[in-house]
Each structure stands twice: as structure tokens, then as C-alpha cells.
Amino acid sequence: MLKNILKIATRKSPLALWQATYVKNCLKKIYPKLNIKLIPVVTQGDILLNHLVFKIGGKGIFVKELEQLIIKHKADLAVHSIKDLPANLPEGLGLVTICKRENPYDVIVSYSYRSIEDLPKGAVIGTSSMRRGSQIISYRPDLLIHPIRGNIGTRINRLHIGTYDAIIIAAAGLNRLGIQYKTNQIISANILLPAVGQGAIGIECRLDDNNLINLLEALHDEDTAVCIKAERAMNKHLKGGCALPIASFGVLEGDNIWLRGLIGNPDGSIIIKNEIRGPRYKYKEIGILLAEKLLSSGGKKILNTLHKNN
């Protein structure tokens, strides 16, 4: 037996608990005698709902408390939505397991309109993601982007009371929670390129816990991991975070990977896109090369301005 009790740190949101329970159930199926306990935690990102994420610390506000539990040996691992993970992890911790990716795209949810094209001029879209906002405004400059925070249920409730004409949510989150709506249009990556790691669940633990890493290998999906690692390599090279409208999406084509990337102005006035194909085993080099292509084609100027302003 690896441990008397395997402790999994997780946020308390319904989606986070679903993901942690999913990992727990997968492990129990493979290792029936393993005793597993969830440790739900309220993170800073769950408390400061009236603030924009990039103004209160970026993506790290959703994972810092979980990581501290692992570092202090009060938990063995943490389960994350990979899109919530910062580019750099604390020393001694690593993203050791990447589960098979769910639907990686965004969806637009509305009670009154069938699609993003169906929205009338001046319609209000709820999203606090600069990545989503900049791309939507670039595609439909006549729409209005208003910030929205909270878990999926909170955001849907605000849509229900009429605060927004539509909201944008990751398809994977809706699918995992079993939420279905008449108007759930999946938005093409040609219009809205997904976030780095979107749709994939990742497991973080101490890098010196070799027994646990070996045990978790059974949940790892290498095809997904190749794409996610390429996306994260691009993002890390760009020093990306919540304050930056950056997107990346990798797809395998046999033994090759097709990686698309984007840097945009928050107001959607400038969107820099590029893409690259190459051998899947060179995923890291491909991610860095794509980052350099984005920087040299105008992205560097955008990022310098955004870093200065933020």
C-alpha cells in the first residue's frame, strides 16, 4: 500500500469537486484497496469574487492554498483544471499526470439567442477572460463585454436574471456537471481559440514522491499531454497569465502536432495569430518556436504595453 490514506486537495466549487471525485473514482477502480480522502479548500480566488483575476494575483489565486497543503505534507496531490495552472509551479512540485482531454472549446450560453451570430447589436456578453473578450470583440465589434466572476452555477444564475444576454463558458465544465441548455453553441477555434490546457484535468504532487507518481501513471494520457505541454511551453515563453489575452491549442495529426497560438489587445483591435506543425516528440521546441513567431509578428509590442500597464 502506498499510504494509509491518500489525501487529495481540491477547491470547493462544484466543478472542482467533480474533478477530484473523478480522479478518486478512477484510482479506486484501479486500486480498490486504496483509501482516498478529499480535502476541500476555499482559495483566495473563490473568496474575492468582486475582483478581476489578474488584479489579485493571476491564476495562482486558484491553486496556491492547495499547493501549500502539498508542500507541508498535509495533502499528497491536488487536482486542477489545467487552464487554471500558472506557467510556473512552485519548486519541488510538478504537473505529473494529465488526464484525457474533454471538449476543449468554449460555448456561448443564452436563453434568447441561438448563436453568437444571432446576438443583436449591443448585446451584453458576460466573461472576465481577456482571452475570450478580445477575440469576441474582434469577431463582433458591436457586442459589449461585461465582467462576470463566480462558479458556473453563479454565472448561469446571473444570466437567468437578465444581467447578460449571453455568457461564455468552457464546454468541458458544462459537460462534467451535466448542464444542458437549448442554446449551447460550441464556438469554433477559428473564432475563439481555447485557453492553454482547456478541457484537461491535471494532477500536481511533490516531485520526490516517486511511489505516488508511479501510481498516478495509470491515469495519464500521453496524447493529451503532448498537446498540453506544447501549449504550456508557448505560454511560459510568452510569460503568459490572466492579465494577457493569450491562447494556444494543440491537435495531434498522426505523429505530428498542429499548434495554434494567439496574442491580442484586450479591446480586440489587434489580434496576432500564428500556427506551426512539427513532430510530436518536439512539443516543447514547437511551443517555443510558435511563441517566437507570435512575438516577431507584433505580439512583443502588445505584451510590452500590457506588462507596463499592469
The amino acid occupying position 73 is: H
Nearest to 10 by CA among 94, 56, 69: 69
Round to whole Å and give the CA distance between 195 and 106.
9
**Active-site residue, selected from the candidate residues 46, 84, 106, 209:** 84
Note if 165 is an active site residue.
no
Q: Identify the sign of the CA torsion 122, 128, 130, 131.
A: negative
Q: Which are the catalytic amino acids?
A: 84
